[in-house]
Chain A
Amino acid sequence: MIKAILIFNNHGKPRLSKFYQPYSEDTQQQIIRETFHLVSKRDENVCNFLEGGLLIGGSDNKLIYRHYATLYFVFCVDSSESELGILDLIQVFVETLDKCFENVCELDLIFHVDKVHNILAKMVMGGMVLETNMNEIVTQIDAQNKLEKSEAGLAGAPARAVSAVKNMNLPEIPRNINIGDISIKVPNLPSFK
């Protein structure tokens, strides 16, 4: 079972953190820090496997990580998972992100972390591998994005109109518009509340 999936950058700033077992908020942050500490110490040409830190369950669990440019992708797993299999899973995950975001980079993950959560939820559920077929995942994501857009499009229109008008700052409209020798006096419009 996968216990946690963490993405953080080279300075330890979390870009995504998903835990599949209940940990308190404090413990979660400590786990992120501890994992970053362990993983950042590793050289470039060593293997991608590490014993888990104490907080995540010690030597019964492993940290399987991949380093892509400025980001670390770390999967904390217990002994029932295949290490090489998880390595492949990380690769499939990143490739899926690449397809969804078109040449994904760290900024995409930063500004669209909720989308990344959604993509991840299509691949890993409840700590178990759900789907690894990239095409299928991308198709589902597209369908759901369409669904959201359609909701926002029609249903959202009246609300957007109202908020646009509410936000118009009427008192600031100039009382007198002088363009050349055309002088227009603007009538006093009642303010919208």
Chain B
Amino acid sequence: MVVPSLKLQDLIEEIRGAKTQAQEREVIQKECAHIRASFRDGDPLHRHRQLAKLLYVHMLGYPAHFGQMECLKLIASPRFTDKRVGYLGAMLLLDERQDAHLLITNSIKNDLSQGIQAVQGLALCTLSTVGSAEMCRDLATEVEKLLLQPSSYVRKKAVLTAVHMIRKVPELSNIFLPPCAQLLHERHHGILLGTITLIMELCERSPAALKHFRKVVPQLVQILRTLVTTGYSVEHSVSGVSDPFLQVQILRLLRILGQNHEESSETMNDLLAQVATNTDTSRNAGNAVLFETVLTIMDIRAAAGLRVLAVNILGRFLLNNDRNIRYVALTSLLRMVQSDHSAVQRHRPTVVECLREPDASLSRRALELSLALVNSSNVRAMTQELQSFLESCPPDLRADCASGILLAAERFAPTKRWHIDTILRVLTTAGTHVRDDAVANLTQLIGGAQELHAYSVRRLYSALADDISQQPLVQVAAWCIGEYGDLLLEGGCEETEPLQVEEEKVLALLEKVLQSHMSLPATRGYALTALMKLSTRLRGDNKAAILEKMPLVERGGTQDEEAKESKEAQLSEAALVATEPQASKLLDLLDLLDGTSGAAQPPPAPEPSPGGTLVHLLDLPCASPAPASIPNLRVFEREGLQLNLSFVRPPGTPALLLITVTAINTSGADVTHFVCQAAVPKSFQLQLQAPSGDTVPAQGGLPVTQLLRILNPNKAPLRLKLRLTYNHFGQSVQEIFEVNNLPVETWQ
């Protein structure tokens, strides 16, 4: 018994009856199985119905590629019903990336040349939607023939198909240029519309064509004039305007032809004035025509009076109640802000009003236009407006607004102090949205303005005291305090409120920044540098306080090169510099791993120049490692000195491995001058932190610990070589060995 296949409507009914996504999927899969079977059986009668159903489920997002060949069969069928669904399927399923695409070329060729309008229309429609370059080349002459065929239905489609063909194969312009002149004499609006589109495409592609078509400007003017002055025509009217679509197209073509060409511009002057003054603006259609007219006037060599008229029309529309009109007005003003700056400036107050629009599309346009309107005379007022906009604007506009203000400030700042104030305000309001170079720019600006050092540091200090979360602001403030801390503590500065600041407070603030979980590693670096600078600039008993902070250096210390270079002498007693001498020894160590890991390379971690690698490692959270229970490993034992490794893989950072090396001495004599170094294969990054000491006391006294941080982004198998040097029982010992039996959890 043959189950009658579902009609499209019935399938849709069933799909709508499904209560859940899963049910819908089931219904569709079942039906697709039937459709597949039906395609296999090759039932020609219901093929179109099956394909129609398949196209429906395709719209809902289900796979339909197995229908591609069926499209071809349907297109080849003599029946119109079949062809219609087949061509629709081709447009939906057979774009030019599909292998089967070219196979429709022959069918299209046949259908174009046989006489039934409806079928020719289908073929043209498909060709213009999915026709590839190759197909267009093959079928160009067929389409050219159809440009002159009597049926207007076919001709208008042929014209638009020609546009598509030229886009795909620009050389075809030669074939389609000659018929245009004759086509312009058509009365049928559809053909005219297509012809004008075709002429625009030709002109945009070739200056020669552009020159050629300037001849038709008078004709176009005539057509437009007829449209505008003829009375109400039911046929083509949209809200009382005669064929606004055709009017807009003609205006666009006139714009292209009149640009930079006096003579053509002159020919259209009167008409443009007429359209601009006579168009009914109570409905959208009239406004569409009017806008196009305004754009054309502004782009061609129009008379001065006409230009003024155009800008005034736009100004009026900025005040229109209809938001669509305001949107288009803003867009149009943006287009002409470069060429007619002063004219657009006159509407600045209204534009600024639009910033306060709740509609995000409008406020975005208003922002772009406002930024373009800032100049040296209005910069203070405009920046004020933009700053208040920044405070309340939608998040996706923040970055643009912030960088726009900063750029405008850079170009037009009346005074340095105003400039600093402006940047400061932007950093406070939208610090997270500014570009990376904002910090560098501000520090340079402040650095260069000697008279404003005191002022800057006081303002920044106050801002920082209020809020330490905005990273760019914190960075600049920290830098400034470090540089000019003495000015900060000195006392009054005329330009700000008297602020009594004590050393303790300053140091406490910097420490707070250092400790805050919100601070990025770069920010911590700034704070640290500032502290170090202050240690020379401030008087008083600070050395002790500064030295107390040394343990923090383990986390962020080696990062700031500048700091090391200038402060090394002073801080040599601190453990900070421990990493330097290790560098050369590690080179030796890595030689040992050469055989296994390839060419010798300097160790990535304690390099003298702070590379990106350090930042990498330091980007990772320094939080105390969460328990990840990898078994400990005893790697070395000699005469009572034991070395154990314990491993932690912090959960948030899969590439990171923390190894704690613990040295315990159970013998009767101390181990002194204990140094442990490590090397890893070159795809890893290693950082050795300073050990807790270099003496491992006897009888199981306090062990020496050292932390190794290993970054393994490629999840390669871990290999580790250790080198120990120490004195024990009066002898100096050196041991080099590779750690075996590393548990897989350390690197997987």
Q: Do A and B come from one complex?
A: yes
Q: Decide yes or no whether A169 CB sits under 8 A from chain B.
A: yes
A47 and B156 contacting across the interface, CB-CB below 8 Å? no
A46 with B323, Cβ < 8 A, contacts A25-B61, A151-B81 known: yes
Q: Quick check: which of A67-75, A83-91, A97-105, A177-185 contacts chain B, the rest being far away?
A: A83-91
- Closest residue to B62 on the A side, CB-wise? A25
Kindly state the separation between the CA atoms of A22 and B156 in the bound complex, as whole angstroms: 24
Kindly state the separation between the CA atoms of A16 and B56 in the bound complex, as whole angstroms: 9
B197 and A45 contacting across the interface, CB-CB below 8 Å? no
Q: Decide yes or no whether B359 CB sits under 8 A from chain A.
A: yes
Interface size class of B (residues with CB under 8 A): 35 or more
Kindly state the separation between the CA atoms of A43 and B358 in the bound complex, as whole angstroms: 10
CB < 8 Å neighbour of A85 from B61, B118, B248, B360: B248
- Closest residue to A1 on the B side, CB-wise? B167
A46 with B4, Cβ < 8 A, contacts A89-B245, A126-B163, A133-B190 known: no
Kindly state the separation between the CA atoms of A147 and B118 in the bound complex, as whole angstroms: 9
Q: Nearest Cβ in chain A — how far from B655, in angstroms?
A: 30
B52 and A136 contacting across the interface, CB-CB below 8 Å? no
Tell which of A50, A88, A167 has the most Cβ of chain B within 10 Å. A88
A29 with B61, Cβ < 8 A, contacts A22-B96, A132-B243 known: yes
Contact with A along B128-145 (1 / 0, CB 8 A): 111000000000000000
B327 and A49 contacting across the interface, CB-CB below 8 Å? yes
Q: Quick check: which of B284-292, B464-472, B683-691, B725-733 contacts chain A, the rest being far away?
A: B284-292
B161 and A84 contacting across the interface, CB-CB below 8 Å? no
B80 and A20 contacting across the interface, CB-CB below 8 Å? no
Q: Which residues of A contact B328 (CB under 8 A)?
A: 83-84
B88 and A117 contacting across the interface, CB-CB below 8 Å? yes
Q: Decide yes or no whether A188 CB sits under 8 A from chain B.
A: no
Q: Nearest Cβ in chain B — how far from A140, in angstroms?
A: 6
A169 with B12, Cβ < 8 A, contacts A131-B190, A159-B45 known: no
- Closest residue to B122 on the A side, CB-wise? A121
A contact residues, total (Cβ < 8 Å): 59
CB < 8 Å neighbour of A46 from B12, B129, B160, B361: B361
CB < 8 Å neighbour of B160 from A16, A45, A51, A126: A126
Q: Nearest Cβ in chain A — how far from B11, in angstroms?
A: 10
Kindly state the separation between the CA atoms of A29 and B627 in the bound complex, as whole angstroms: 44
Tell which of B91, B129, B248 has the most Cβ of chain A within 10 Å. B129
A47 and B118 contacting across the interface, CB-CB below 8 Å? no
Q: Decide yes or no whether B458 CB sits under 8 A from chain A.
A: no
B189 and A133 contacting across the interface, CB-CB below 8 Å? yes
Kindly state the separation between the CA atoms of A130 and B91 in the bound complex, as whole angstroms: 17
Q: Decide yes or no whether A143 CB sits under 8 A from chain B.
A: yes
Q: Decide yes or no whether B331 CB sits under 8 A from chain A.
A: yes
The 3 closest A-B CB pairs, nearest first, are A126-B128, A84-B288, A47-B323
Between-chain CB contacts (< 8 Å), 27 pairs: A14-B61, A18-B91, A22-B96, A25-B61, A43-B358, A45-B323, A46-B323, A51-B364, A82-B291, A84-B288, A85-B292, A87-B324, A88-B238, A88-B245, A88-B284, A114-B8, A118-B88, A125-B128, A126-B160, A127-B129, A130-B160, A133-B235, A136-B190, A144-B118, A151-B80, A163-B2, A167-B2
User: Given known contacts A46-B362, A126-B164, what 18 new A-B pairs fall within 8 Å (CB)?
Assistant: A20-B129, A46-B358, A46-B360, A49-B327, A49-B361, A82-B252, A82-B288, A85-B244, A88-B284, A126-B129, A128-B164, A130-B190, A130-B193, A143-B118, A144-B84, A148-B84, A163-B4, A166-B1
